[in-house]
Chains A and B, each alone.
Chain A
Amino acid sequence: MIFSLSRAWLLNETPSTRSQAIWGRRYRLWLGLRTNPLAMLGLLIIVVVLLLSLIAPLLTPYDPGFQDLANRLASPSAKHWLGSDELGRDIYTRVLYGGRTTLGMVIAVVTLTAPIGLLVGCIAGYTGGILDKLLMRLTDIFLSFPRLILALAFVAALKPGVESAILAIALTAWPPYARLARAETMQFRNSDFIAANRLTGADPMRIILHHVMPLCMPSLIVRITLDMSSIIITAASLGFLGMGAQPPSPEWGTMIATARRFLFTEWWVPMMPCIAIFLTSLAFNFLGDGLRDVLDPKER
């Protein structure tokens, strides 16, 4: 195994190994992405936000729940960079820790829904027939529900909190992936290499898992990246309506909900988490838009 990760090796027109071809393709995509300034800005913000939330305890001397009632609603200063909230808690700290909750929710939703959507879509698209009809009808039913409303009703029925919010969003987030994966699968289910595979005696599940699914990945990745921002917004909206993460745990939407009564007097208390939400979801949209241009040029 040669690990000469040089530019020439990556850009070689006649790759000698499979991994060289794969990495060469990825490198070319990266080069394409790099020419899009908005996408790079998005990527940068995402990496920074991820890092900040990961190492939050190292970046702040305060605890997100630590109350200092003598120091309520302090304006931004050297001691409290972004001011303090109605219980004297440091807003900077809470925004950092809030990123953990929000990003954690997003990651949980995606890891729950993407494989399910992909599997359902590929199976439906590959097998066709009655199974396809059945699965797509189910997808259509879920797809035709208003997302936030269903999530709200679902969370209210379970119990307001992070776990129910994740479940509720996941319940409404998988159908678009299934639709997408099905459409992709239909395109090459009758192609020669699949037929060749079938002739060698590969069973359908193996073909789906090893040959169909990987081909659906590019458009799925684009879709997921673009979806991230809508998941962030749904999660924050649930929090804002009191159905997501419960106070005192720091979550951006919840923080805005509890602080909105200070909007006209101490505007920075509700506005700081607002800015955090906006930046993060804008970053995902920028990156997704750029990725689409690279991975899926026909959709441009």
Chain B
Amino acid sequence: MRVLNRFFSTLGSLMLTLFGLSVLTFFIGRVMPTDPVLAAVGDNAPESVVIRVRQEMGLDQPLWVQFGRYLNQLLHGDLGKSILTSHPVISDIAHYFPATLELATAAILVAIVIGVPLGVWAAVRQGTWIDQTIRVVCLAGHSIPVFVLSLLSLLVFYAVLGIAPGPGRQDIIYQDMVPHVTGLLTIDSLLDGDYGAFHDALAHMAQPVLILAYFSMAYITRMTRTFMLNALNGEFIITARAKGLSARRVIWRHAFPTVAVQLVTVIALTYAGLLEGAVVTENVFSWPGLGQYLTTSLMNADMNPVIGATLLIGTAYVLLNLCADLLYRLWDPRVK
């Protein structure tokens, strides 16, 4: 019964948050400075046409009626049409999203592999120069905007050293050569058996992925350090040490498992943050993903894609938050 209760209250808050998201995006779409009717019919249209089109678009209705219609459209997966690409927003998003997903997923994997051991190391060597160095590296990661690091990396590795490929997701010779299966270029090229294309895709991913990974790593490392410090102060660690266990065994088999669950939540949140960080990175690296789509539409005052992409990223964010929360409840016996 209590589990069911919990489930419904979580579901309720999820619905409420998503509802809040749709209210916000609705108003963002309404307060824009340009009149959508004039944008559709042109400045010189006669008054009667303007009035007719306004009625057709439903913009003469009271706000709550308009909002109801908007919600109805959302629930049917209709995000309107993009003026710029003249495709429905939903199919545009389906086209651009895999590129962002590939970037963010690769970045979070790198961040976990480097960040977690680094955090553990810093905690074990608390107060030494190792801890201080890791601390400064992480603080720097919190202090530098993504686009600054991206520009710097392009300058050094592409322009000066010439060891990295330039912006973009593929070299021009591989353009449209890889059959579209999942939309993830690395996987598609492997499925196709085209190792040249696979290698090319990996090379293009290296810079944006490493940069995004650095930012996530900064956060993951810091949190790992904090959690580990708490765990290492526990009495069970003193017991384990007193039993004469090796330092490695104490750290990885006794202390680390107790923080693993907390780390999962941190990683889920970081992953959500990556979807957002990708917007700026994609802009610098001309990465044809959701962020690029969002900013290009913004520049052209094309509001439907902006709202669609905001909704999608917002929803992903909310769902990941929820996942983190659920995993924490399921896996950590202390919560019960």
| Closest Cβ–Cβ distance, residue A212 to chain B (whole Å) | 26
Whether, in the assembled complex, B263 has its beta carbon less than 8 Å from a beta carbon of chain A, the answer is no
Nearest-CB residue, chain A, relative to B16: A137
Whether, in the assembled complex, A217 has its beta carbon less than 8 Å from a beta carbon of chain B, the answer is no
| Known contacts A146-B275, A230-B142; 18 further A-B pairs (Cβ under 8 A) | A137-B13, A144-B318, A144-B321, A145-B24, A148-B276, A149-B314, A152-B295, A152-B306, A153-B298, A157-B28, A157-B29, A157-B303, A243-B298, A256-B148, A270-B151, A281-B144, A282-B143, A282-B144
Instruction: Give the chain A neighbours of B32 by CB distance below 8 A.
Output: 156-157
| Closest Cβ–Cβ distance, residue B285 to chain A (whole Å) | 12
Instruction: Give the chain A neighbours of B317 by CB distance below 8 A.
Output: 144-146
Please tell me if the beta carbons of A150 and B33 are within 8 angstroms of each other in the complex: no
| Closest Cβ–Cβ distance, residue B258 to chain A (whole Å) | 19
A-contact bits for B16-30, CB 8 A (1 contact / 0 none): 110011001101110
Nearest-CB residue, chain B, relative to A156: B298
Please tell me if the beta carbons of A149 and B310 are within 8 angstroms of each other in the complex: yes
Chain A interface SS verdict (over half): helix
Q: Which of B294-336 contact A (CB under 8 A)?
A: 294-295, 298-299, 301, 303, 306-307, 309-310, 313-314, 317-318, 321
In Å, the complex CA distance between A163 and B213 comes to 32
In Å, the complex CA distance between A158 and B33 comes to 7
Instruction: Give the chain A neighbours of B298 by CB distance below 8 A.
Output: 152-153, 156, 241-243
| Closest Cβ–Cβ distance, residue A297 to chain B (whole Å) | 13
Instruction: Give the chain B neighbours of A157 by CB distance below 8 A.
Output: 27-29, 31-33, 303
Pick the residue among B147, B273, B310 that contacts A150 (CB under 8 A): B310
In Å, the complex CA distance between A207 and B24 comes to 34
Please tell me if the beta carbons of A147 and B276 are within 8 angstroms of each other in the complex: yes
In Å, the complex CA distance between A260 and B155 comes to 10
| Closest Cβ–Cβ distance, residue A79 to chain B (whole Å) | 25
Whether, in the assembled complex, B136 has its beta carbon less than 8 Å from a beta carbon of chain A, the answer is yes
Q: Given A145-B21, A153-B306, A156-B301, are A38 and B148 also a contact pair (CB < 8 Å)?
A: no
In Å, the complex CA distance between A156 and B295 comes to 10
Whether, in the assembled complex, B212 has its beta carbon less than 8 Å from a beta carbon of chain A, the answer is no
| Closest Cβ–Cβ distance, residue B142 to chain A (whole Å) | 5
Q: Pull 5 A–B residue pairs with CB atoms less than 8 Å apart, ordered by A.
A: A145-B21, A148-B280, A152-B310, A233-B145, A274-B148
Please tell me if the beta carbons of B31 and A140 are within 8 angstroms of each other in the complex: no
Instruction: Give the chain A neighbours of B135 by CB distance below 8 A.
Output: 289
Q: Given A157-B31, A158-B31, are A242 and B145 also a contact pair (CB < 8 Å)?
A: no
Pick the residue among B29, B146, B147, B276 that contacts A149 (CB under 8 A): B276
| Closest Cβ–Cβ distance, residue B221 to chain A (whole Å) | 14
Interface residues on B, range: 35 or more
Nearest-CB residue, chain A, relative to B145: A233
Whether, in the assembled complex, B152 has its beta carbon less than 8 Å from a beta carbon of chain A, the answer is yes
Q: Given A144-B321, A145-B314, A152-B294, are A263 and B16 also a contact pair (CB < 8 Å)?
A: no
Please tell me if the beta carbons of A263 and B280 are within 8 angstroms of each other in the complex: no
Instruction: Give the chain A neighbours of B21 by CB distance below 8 A.
Output: 141, 145
| Closest Cβ–Cβ distance, residue A15 to chain B (whole Å) | 33
In Å, the complex CA distance between A251 and B309 comes to 27
Q: Most B CB atoms within 10 A — which of A253, A264, A284?
A: A264
Nearest-CB residue, chain B, relative to A42: B139
Whether, in the assembled complex, A177 has its beta carbon less than 8 Å from a beta carbon of chain B, the answer is no
Whether, in the assembled complex, A285 has its beta carbon less than 8 Å from a beta carbon of chain B, the answer is yes
Nearest-CB residue, chain A, relative to B298: A156
Whether, in the assembled complex, A277 has its beta carbon less than 8 Å from a beta carbon of chain B, the answer is yes
| Closest Cβ–Cβ distance, residue A175 to chain B (whole Å) | 12
Instruction: Give the chain A neighbours of B284 by CB distance below 8 A.
Output: 260
Instruction: Give the chain A neighbours of B79 by CB distance below 8 A.
Output: none
Nearest-CB residue, chain A, relative to B30: A157
B-contact bits for A264-292, CB 8 A (1 contact / 0 none): 10010011001001100110111001000
User: Closest 10 A-B residue pairs measured CB to CB?
Assistant: A141-B20, A282-B143, A281-B143, A146-B276, A274-B148, A157-B28, A264-B159, A153-B310, A233-B145, A285-B139
In Å, the complex CA distance between A140 and B27 comes to 19
| Closest Cβ–Cβ distance, residue A96 to chain B (whole Å) | 19
| Closest Cβ–Cβ distance, residue B307 to chain A (whole Å) | 7
In Å, the complex CA distance between A212 and B28 comes to 36
Whether, in the assembled complex, A126 has its beta carbon less than 8 Å from a beta carbon of chain B, the answer is no
Pick the residue among A148, A256, A263, A267 that contacts B279 (CB under 8 A): A148
Please tell me if the beta carbons of A263 and B151 are within 8 angstroms of each other in the complex: yes
Instruction: Give the chain A neighbours of B146 by CB distance below 8 A.
Output: 237
| Closest Cβ–Cβ distance, residue A69 to chain B (whole Å) | 25
Instruction: Give the chain B neighbours of A38 by CB distance below 8 A.
Output: 136
Whether, in the assembled complex, B140 has its beta carbon less than 8 Å from a beta carbon of chain A, the answer is yes
Instruction: Give the chain B neighbours of A274 by CB distance below 8 A.
Output: 145, 148, 151-152
Whether, in the assembled complex, A26 has its beta carbon less than 8 Å from a beta carbon of chain B, the answer is no
| Closest Cβ–Cβ distance, residue A108 to chain B (whole Å) | 19
Whether, in the assembled complex, A240 has its beta carbon less than 8 Å from a beta carbon of chain B, the answer is yes
Pick the residue among B142, B151, B280 that contacts A237 (CB under 8 A): B280
Please tell me if the beta carbons of B139 and A282 are within 8 angstroms of each other in the complex: yes
Q: Which of B278-297 contact A (CB under 8 A)?
A: 279-280, 283-284, 294-295
Whether, in the assembled complex, B272 has its beta carbon less than 8 Å from a beta carbon of chain A, the answer is yes
In Å, the complex CA distance between A269 and B192 comes to 44
Q: Given A157-B303, A242-B299, are A140 and B144 also a contact pair (CB < 8 Å)?
A: no
In Å, the complex CA distance between A230 and B145 comes to 9
